[in-house]
Structure 1
């Protein structure tokens, strides 16, 4: 018996070395995936092969048949990264990692990020086995930082997980320990609308579309042009927009240093937006608020107390996430839940917020946090301290679906942001879904390998940023030019 087993093992090894089986009938089982029982007997008959005859086939052909349903698209242990390229649509650089076995992984470099954050890392991942995700992450994590600067490391990490799932033939959530839920709840973001009644109507439209969780952007930009609503706005001129990169502009000045204050009239006007929205959608729908503006923590406590009668699900990014002590003061002073983290890179930078219970909810974006696994690690760590996790996302449907997998695999998950509901072609960028990605306020967790989606190349090509090519060669980034060690 022992000799027979050894003979089978040796024959299987020989088969791998020889490639395709010699017998035409056995080879046909590999070439045609629909090798069910009926096709087997049909092929056997056509080939003059009976069940008895099959027992007389060469061992390599018998093994070829009996293992014909094994995935031969990849041999994970021999995978190597051969290339990485970018194709940008709008403000989202899509990222593709290629291998020596024809399979690839997809990610993106977060919305609004520079593709060079990822391209500079290409030389550091070439030749690596993409299934060693943590090993590669350990090499490149030093090049990530907060906000969009985390997009390079995060985009590569996300593409690696997609690739690993395809290599092993399993959905991404399975690589993260399995899933807690079959579908993931969405909260839908709503662009700012100046008129409170129109804003409320917009929220009601969201509910009519099937969404069960909402967020409003209610900031002092809505009232800044009204007399006696804000104190100390004059040094900031017209309160320039988010695109202003001047380090001394309003948008680039940390909240505590603007010394803008909100007046009783300003509070009344801000609250009007929430009051009218609640009148339209009722109180059973969770309703969160974001984008208040750059004011110190005392002003945020005033605002939070004014919103309290409207049962707000959470108040988001009231002050910069780095200000743990300010967050703790706000959280302890109010009853409405607090939340931050979409611009925070890496689990280690969430630790102060979590360990000090400075917020009620953490809010990582995989596109900045370091990718899917870092996001799950952040959620798991928050769970240890009794803190829940919502997820931020505003980029491509590729990473949106990858984030769905991370949400499915994390116990204390609450809701995932959908930032593109008003974009009619956003879902057209991908194929592979069985129907719409989002239905009745939820996303079904895919069971296909990797993230479960591929790019619709024709649609992506139509949407490419002006001057951008579709995954053009990036050979200029192949050579590493520095010694990366951060200690001596």
Structure 2
């Protein structure tokens, strides 16, 4: 008898705060959570896969409820299960979800499908009875698991009444929590003021190699080059998303003059967009980093296609450090050999951060040995996800 999906539930939940980057504030930010219940029973309970979308994009509730959830529920069991009918097949499910969807113009549907895809992979690993990172390493990798994954602390947001002292105190807190590298926002003030902020943080973290800066696409080419010129002597770990993520020419021209590592990709949501970045963005596979986030870009299913494209173009998976700061990307990093993962120790709760009782030590964190993505090992997140049951 073929496995069946019994129900799929979704709701939008707030992740609002007073922080802002150079482009948006998060005063009305929310996210979708989903639960996919199967008819498989483990330990006396039905297997339920959970998922959510990453911060920075609003809850795609309408797309999920009106289009993608009904499409998945209407699919025949043989169209969503493996050949034996004993587990869900994420690749088949991706094809079902994309039925009657035109190519190009990806829009927010990438976020909706990525949210469902996370829940599918959570269910798949739970049905197999293994952590997702082990399933990925064994079935899609070389069997090697990174027992500990590099993570950096993403913060340094602009906030009301937040001066240099408060910014330094924030960064001190990250170092005390076990992080060795921290990220701060830039582009939301004058270059001169941002340089003062950078210098204040460097007094806390020491070497520029311990500091990442993120402009969130704020600059035009002239501004991007001027900012790069102003900070190049600090030799920062990376200079992130200087301009519009789809302006590959800006990225390429900036790459010609900025001498150190750059990072981008968190707002590119498809294989084709990622391919265009590699073709036309002037990125350096020896020094630069790519930040594609599976939860925003059609899911892990599409992310694995992106990894294959990167390999064909001379890039290593060790150049990938995903945006999002969530457990899904942490599993991918551990199982498929990425360079690491972003972390949000202070914001976007309960989605930010990792399993309880797994402390960051020397800039690295471990993963729990439980089936699935590991949401059950993060109490505040699991409590929220269970409200869908």
The answer, yes or no, to whether TM exceeds 0.5 is yes
- 8 Å contact kept, 2:208–2:236: no
Gaps in structure 1 of 5+ consecutive residues: 1-76, 223-265, 395-399, 473-488
- 8 Å contact kept, 1:376–1:410: no
Deviation at 1:153, TM superposition (A): 0.5
1:347 aligns with 2:264: no
Q: In the alignment, what sits opposite 1:71?
A: none
Aligned pairs for 1:139-178 within 5 A = 139-141=96-98, 142=101, 148-176=108-136, 177=141, 178=143
Structure 1 Cα separation of the partners of residues 181 and 132 of structure 2: 25
- 8 Å contact kept, 1:355–1:385: no
1:118 aligns with 2:64: yes
Assess, with a 3 A threshold, how the Cα gap between structure 1 residues 284 and 216 changes in structure 2: closer, same or farther: closer
Structure 2 Cα separation of the partners of residues 169 and 379 of structure 1: 25
- 8 Å contact kept, 1:339–1:363: yes
Size of the aligned set, in residue pairs, is 338
1:294-352 deviation digits (Å, cap 9, x = unpaired) = 33112101101111111111111111221112211111221122221112112222001
Gaps in structure 2 of 5+ consecutive residues: 15-29, 41-45, 82-86
Q: In the alignment, what sits opposite 1:451?
A: 373
For the aligned residues, what is the CA RMSD? 3.0
Deviation at 1:357, TM superposition (A): 5.2
Decide which of 190, 193, 201 is 1:269's aligned counterpart: 193
Q: In the alignment, what sits opposite 2:332?
A: 406
Q: Give the match's secondary structure for 1:446.
A: coil
1:389 aligns with 2:320: yes
1:415 aligns with 2:340: yes
What TM-score, normalized by structure 1, do the two folds share? 0.62
Deviation at 1:174, TM superposition (A): 3.0
- 8 Å contact kept, 1:199–1:277: yes
1:49-81 deviation digits (Å, cap 9, x = unpaired) = xxxxxxxxxxxxxxxxxxxxxxxxxxxx73111
1:236-272 deviation digits (Å, cap 9, x = unpaired) = xxxxxxxxxxxxxxxxxxxxxxxxxxxxxx4332211
Assess, with a 3 A threshold, how the Cα gap between structure 1 residues 179 and 88 changes in structure 2: closer, same or farther: farther
Structure 2 Cα separation of the partners of residues 175 and 151 of structure 1: 24
Q: In the alignment, what sits opposite 1:470?
A: 387
Q: In the alignment, what sits opposite 2:233?
A: 309
Which runs of structure 1 show a deviation greater than 6 angstroms over 4 or more consecutive aligned residues?
Answer: 427-430, 455-461
Decide which of 298, 316, 319 is 1:370's aligned counterpart: 298
Q: Give the match's secondary structure for 2:117.
A: helix
Aligned pairs for 1:29-428 within 5 A = 78-90=2-14, 91-101=30-40, 102-111=46-55, 112-119=58-65, 120-126=67-73, 127=77, 128-129=80-81, 131-141=88-98, 142=101, 148-176=108-136, 177=141, 178-190=143-155, 191-193=157-159, 194-219=162-187, 221-222=188-189, 266-283=190-207, 285-291=209-215, 294-356=218-280, 358-359=282-283, 360-383=288-311, 384-386=313-315, 388-393=319-324, 400-411=326-337, 413-419=338-344, 421-423=345-347, 426=350
Deviation at 1:136, TM superposition (A): 0.9
